[in-house]
Amino acid sequence: MAVYAMSDLHLSLSADKPMDIFGSAWHNYMERIYDNWCSCVSSDDLVIVGGDISWAMYLEEAVEDFKFLHSLPGHKLLVRGNHDYWWESLAKLKAFTQANGFDSVSFLQNDAFVWQGSVISGTRGWIVPSLDSFTASDRKIYDRELIRLELSLKAAQRIAELDASITRRIAVLHYPPIGASREVDPSVAKLLEMYGVDICLYGHLHGPARSECFSGESGGVTYALVSADHLAFTPCNLDL
């Protein structure tokens, strides 16, 4: 019953969105995701999918991508990415999965999810203030995402206080909580450390931009980039 992670699947079974703009590494990426996922993930495992799941614009357009996702082994826990325009309210998302029989898929938004001794929190996140591209309009979204992150972390805290089997706290963001000099954003770091997070996963970075990532320990939290191309389209086993 292992926990895996991989973000940025960019499924496009109902949309014409080629990924070769990010380089030849994306050739036949959906076939590679399927083969690699099936080679390592079992039906009893959890896979955290950290955003940019489907290129569909609307939920009804995402059915084929969700069929693909549902066909893969394990339970999938989804966090929203910046390209997941199909993402609606949790009530609508749950109704969609129930109506289509996608019972191997759950969504993480302002709450927490428990899986075999791990409690998982997360939100989309946003670009961080230390980046040169950060604007006043970014500030509003960034602050809102900090609130959502803390809501999720508080939910995990409540669960951990009542469940003695919880031994690991995982946080997942789509946007990297990493600044211009590859330092961890202090506001995000403060929340993660305050709520005792052990691992922080993030995605969003592709191709040469992956050089901007930070992977390692800071303030007692281990940070890891899990974009699909960074992982050679193979889910990362967090239990190794």
Query: How many domains, the chain?
Result: 1
Domain containing residue 210: 3-237
Structure tokens at 30: 């959906």
Among 131, 150, 129, which Cα is nearest to 141's?
129
What is the CATH number for 195? 3.60.21.10
Query: With bands split at pLDDT 50, 70 and 90, how would you rate the model's confidence at 50?
Result: very high
The pTM (predicted TM-score) of the whole model is: 0.95
Query: What confidence category does residue 18 fall into, taking pLDDT thresholds of 50, 70 and 90?
Result: confident
Q: Which residues of 102-126 are buried (b: 16+ CB within 10 A; e: fewer)?
A: bebbbbbbbbbbebeebbbbbbbbb
What mean pLDDT is predicted for residues 205-226? 91
Q: What are the pLDDT digits (tens) for 190-212?
A: 999 999 999 999 999 988 878 77
d(CA 136, CA 44) in angstroms, rounded, equals 45
232: left (phi over 0), alpha (psi -120 to 50) or beta: left
Q: What tokens does 116 get? A: 């075999």
Backbone angles phi, psi at 125, to 5 degrees: 75, -170
Any idea what the Cα angle at residue 128 is, between residues 123 and 130, rounded to 5°? 165
| pLDDT at residue 115, rounded to an integer | 96
* Per-residue pLDDT reduced to its tens digit, 60-87: 999 999 999 999 999 999 999 999 999 9
- The overall average pLDDT reported for the chain is 95
First to last CA, the chain: 12
Instruction: Enumerate the β-bridge partners of residue 5.
Output: 48, 236
